[in-house]
Every structure is written in C-alpha cells, then in structure tokens.
C-alpha cells in the first residue's frame, strides 16, 4: 500500500473513532428518545467505519481527546444541533479524499453512502428546544446592535470620555433590555404563544450580552481614549455579527455571507450616521463636557 494512502486511512480511522465517541456522548445527553436512538445508531456506524479502515491499516488508533473535549464544550455552549451539523460539514470535506481509495478498498462506496445518509437523518431528527427561540435571539441581538452601536457612537464625540460614554451606554442598554423583553413578551402573548415568557427571556439575554460586549471597551480604556474605544466597539460589533450569523447558517443550513453582509451593513451604517449626528451636535451646540 502506498504510504500516502496509509496515512490517509489512519486519519480517517482516527476521525471515525472520534466521531463515534462524540455521538455516543451526545446520545447520553439528549432527552428526546428519537434523537437519542438515531445518535446511538450513527455512533455505531462511525465505529463500524473505523473497523473497516483498521482492517487495512492493521494499526490500533485512539480517538482524539482534544476534539472530543472541544466539541463537548461547544455542545454545552451552543447546543448539540450546531455541533452535529458542524461535524457533518467537516466530515464531508474528506469524501473526495476517500474517493481516491475506491480502487484499493471495496467498502469505500458503502462508507460514502452512509456518510451521505448521516446528514439526511440528522436534519430530520434534530429538534433542539433552543432553536425554537432563534427568532427571539435574532430580535434581541439585532436590535441591540443597531440601537447601541448608534447610541454609543453618537455619544462618543459629545461626551469625549470613555467612562461617561460607558455609563450612558449601560443605562440605555439596561433600560432597552427590559423594554425589548417586555415588548416581545406582549407580542408573543398576543400571537397566542404559550411560551411567550421564555421567548422574551431569550430576547432579553441576547440584548443584554450584546450591551455588555459593546460597552466593555469604554470601561477598560482610559477616559481620553474614546476614539480608540469607538473603533474597538465597532470591531466587537462586527465579530458579534460574524459569529451569530455563522451559528445561524450552520444550524439552519443557510448561506452565511449574505446574512452577515446585510446585518453588518445595517448596524455599521446606523453607527456611522449616529456618529456624524453626535459630531455635528457637539459643534452646532458648542457642547464641551469637562
């Protein structure tokens, strides 16, 4: 066997064992019986694939504990739907490489077919509760980004002090968090949603977390470095938009880039306009806060 092919097989063998361990762990964590059963079946499939590779490599390999710990952490943080779909996306990057081995290993076709069926099964079976509140999270996060980036950018030149700007941002942010959560609760109740309270909590949490992250640069930097704080805040806003849209794109199997550009464009445009308004207001009214 060609040395390059052997290395490839060993990598696939290790990846399959790692995936089997991860899916087995996830199956013990999910509460839904249907989800649990399918995850157990997929874990067995991955273990069977590892055995096939092992017959050809004639070597004993072990799962990657680093990957296992990383994906377990991501599951705790972002939920199993995101992690499973991310794993499946990454797994498909190896299909083309597997195809190279078709002539040497007859079972490769079977492995590819099973890998392709994995994603179909997963899409049908996943029903994670938190995904029912993605709309509520989008509402809170998007509103916070648009409102707070605009408010903080507008106040940056007017106040010319990071601590005063942070104070104003915190007061505005907390008030807006409570207002947005209450408004969403009333809207969900009016639509007959029996879980209106939980939806409003998701909205409020998304809003508050965004507020904290946007205000943080102003709290950490000295009072005179307000322009630097503004630039960092804009960078933080872009990162929030990036990671949140990446999450949505993975769990909903949607395109990432158009959503990211749209959300970033709206938030940054509002921030820029508000910044100009704040600058003009300071010059026009001759405001000087010493």
Same domain, 58 and 122: yes
Task: Determine, yes or no, domain membership for 249.
Answer: yes
Task: Determine, yes or no, domain membership for 205.
Answer: yes
Same domain, 144 and 272: yes
The domain of 272 spans: 130-285
Structural domains in the chain (count): 2
Same domain, 164 and 261: yes
Same domain, 117 and 210: no
Q: Which two tokens stand for residue 248?
A: 């949505």
Give the end of a domain, one of 103, 127, 151. Answer: 127
Phi, psi of 154 (to 5 degrees): -65, -35
Task: Determine, yes or no, domain membership for 246.
Answer: yes
Measured between alpha carbons, how far is 21 from 220 in angstroms, rounded to an integer?
Answer: 42
Same domain, 92 and 179: no
Same domain, 100 and 156: no
Task: Determine, yes or no, domain membership for 174.
Answer: yes
Give the end of a domain, one of 76, 98, 127. Answer: 127
Task: Determine, yes or no, domain membership for 219.
Answer: yes
As to burial, measured by CB atoms within 10 angstroms (0-12 exposed, 13-18 middle, 19+ buried), residue 38 is: buried
Give the end of a domain, one of 96, 127, 158. Answer: 127
Phi, psi of 27 (to 5 degrees): -60, -30
Q: How confident is the prediction along the chain (290 residues), in pLDDT tens digits per residue?
A: 567 778 888 888 898 899 899 989 988 888 878 888 888 888 888 898 888 888 888 899 999 999 999 999 988 888 888 888 888 777 655 556 666 676 667 777 777 677 667 666 666 666 666 777 777 787 788 888 888 888 888 888 778 899 999 999 999 999 989 998 898 889 888 888 888 888 899 889 988 999 999 999 999 999 999 999 999 999 999 998 898 888 888 877 788 888 889 888 888 888 788 778 777 776 776 665 55
User: CATH number for the domain including 119?
Assistant: 1.20.1260
Task: Determine, yes or no, domain membership for 92.
Answer: yes
pTM of the shown model = 0.74
Task: Determine, yes or no, domain membership for 290.
Answer: no
CB proximity list for 5: less than 8 A, separation 6 or greater: 100, 101, 104
């Amino acid at each position: 066997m060609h040395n390059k092919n052997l290395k490839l097989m060993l990598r696939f063998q290790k990846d399959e064992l790692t995936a089997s361990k991860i899916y087995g762990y996830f199956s013990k964590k999910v509460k839904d019986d249907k989800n649990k059963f399918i995850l157990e079946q997929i874990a067995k499939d991955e273990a069977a694939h590892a055995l096939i590779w092992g017959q050809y490599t004639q070597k004993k390999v072990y799962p990657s504990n680093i990957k296992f710990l990383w994906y377990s952490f991501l599951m705790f943080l972002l939920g199993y739907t995101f992690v499973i779909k991310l794993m499946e996306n990454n797994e498909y990057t190896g299909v083309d490489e597997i195809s190279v081995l078709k002539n040497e290993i007859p079972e490769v076709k079977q492995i590819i077919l099973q890998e392709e069926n994995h994603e179909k099964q997963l899409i049908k079976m996943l029903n994670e509760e938190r995904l029912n509140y993605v709309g509520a999270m989008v509402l809170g996060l998007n509103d916070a980004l648009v409102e707070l980036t605009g408010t903080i950018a507008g106040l940056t030149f007017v106040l010319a002090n990071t601590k005063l700007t942070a104070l104003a941002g915190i007061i505005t942010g907390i008030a807006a968090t409570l207002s947005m959560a209450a408004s969403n609760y009333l809207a969900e109740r009016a639509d007959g949603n029996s879980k209106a309270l939980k939806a409003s909590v998701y909205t409020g949490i998304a809003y508050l977390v965004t507020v904290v992250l946007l205000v943080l640069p102003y709290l950490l930097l000295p009072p005179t470095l307000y322009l630097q704080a503004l630039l960092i805040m804009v960078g933080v806003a872009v990162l929030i938009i990036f990671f949140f849209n990446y999450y949505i794109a993975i769990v909903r199997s949607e395109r990432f880039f158009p959503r990211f550009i749209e959300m970033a464009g709206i938030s940054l445009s509002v921030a820029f306009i508000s910044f100009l308004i704040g600058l003009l207001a300071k010059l026009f009214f001759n405001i000087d806060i010493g």
